Amino acid sequence: MKRTSVVTLFIALFLTQSYGAWAGVLDDSLKLVRNACGGISNKMQNLKTKAGINTALTAVGTATGAVALGTGIAKAKTDKTYEELLAEIADDLAYFDKMAATQKAEDIDVIPEIHPEDIADVLAEMSVQATELEQKQAELERLEKKSKTLGNVRTGTMAGTAVTDTAGAIIAATNRVNTDLMDDINACIESVRNLSRVAIQVEMDGSADKQEIAKARNIVENCGAWEGVDLSKINKRATGAAISAGVGGATAMAGTVTSALANSNSVRENDTDEGKQKEKNLNLASNILAGGATAASVTATVFNATQIAAIKKAASVADNCEGALQ
């Protein structure tokens, strides 16, 4: 509609241009600019608001992804300590099994050479070792619970990243200068160009006072700034944010599933060599995916932040333009 109005006015101008006729045309040109350029500021504000929301979302995704990665690393250290302690306990149990076998042995030849006077010392040592074994077993249970808790935290925070990044990807994909807004801006530019020509002619034939001419010049200066705005930057950054957030969301979702599986009882309680290796592989994969999701979230946040800067520049032009039209 705005583009049609511009064309119609151009035809009218062509038919009515004559000495002294420009004064009325100036009013019509001003009305056209107000119609073409008004309302763009609100639309730019909507873009800025959505970009701000998206920046916050992907920033949250970055934070939860970082927590997931940090928790996964802490879990790996806990699991390593658990394995080392488990090996110590196995050695201790082997020692007690050996002592028990010695006490039950019927053949004196298999009894280690222990002198009667050393029996008290041996029993005291066994008592100390039994106490230490109990402490180690208690610590083993604590480490197991800690590992389980860390695994749950990693899964939960990774799920948070998946949700926020996916939402961010959806918002970024739609937070663009669409065809309608582009048509409005182009119509505004065309109407300002026309006003500029009219203002020059009016000043030449003296058919308007200086105040009207100054008003027209101010509008041309502020609204004409649209020609220097690169709107493609807004869309390029929207595309970058959508892709990065999409990658972050998908990676985090895969990491959530992997982490949940690694922390499941069926995997954790499988004490075979194959089962233990599977758990290690799943935990490693979960940590790698957490790192990937975090990196993608950081990239999306950067794209969103730079998009805000581009939108602010365009919004500033829109605000100044509409301010000049008042």
Domain-by-domain residue ranges, the chain?
38-78+150-177+231-325
Write down the pLDDT at residue 91.
83
The closest of 165, 146, 147 to 63, measured between CA atoms, is 165
Residue 323: both structure tokens together: 């301010």
Cα–Cα dist 216/261, whole Å: 69
Q: What is the dihedral of CA 213, 215, 216, 221, to 10 degrees?
A: 120
φ/ψ of 106, rounded to 5, equals: -95, -25
Distances (CA, A) of 108 to 95, 102, 115, 179, 217: 19, 9, 13, 98, 116
Residue numbers of the chain with a pLDDT score lower than 50: 1, 6-7, 9-11, 13-19, 105-111
Q: What is the pLDDT of residue 107?
A: 47
Q: Please choose, from the candidates 256, 287, 275, 78, the residue with its C-alpha nearest in 3D space to the C-alpha of residue 152.
A: 256
- The number of beta carbons lying within 10 Å of the beta carbon of residue 291 is 18
Radius of gyration for the alpha carbons in the chain, expressed in angstroms and rounded = 37
pLDDT at 99: 64
DSSP string of 134-170?
Answer: HHHHHHHHHHHHHHHHHHHHHHHHHHHHHHHHHHHHH
Tell me the C-alpha to C-alpha distance, in Å, between residue 113 and each of 99, 100, 126, 310. 12, 15, 16, 86
CA distance 186 to 184: 5
- pLDDT for residue 18: 47
Q: Which residue has the tokens 């390029």?
A: 236
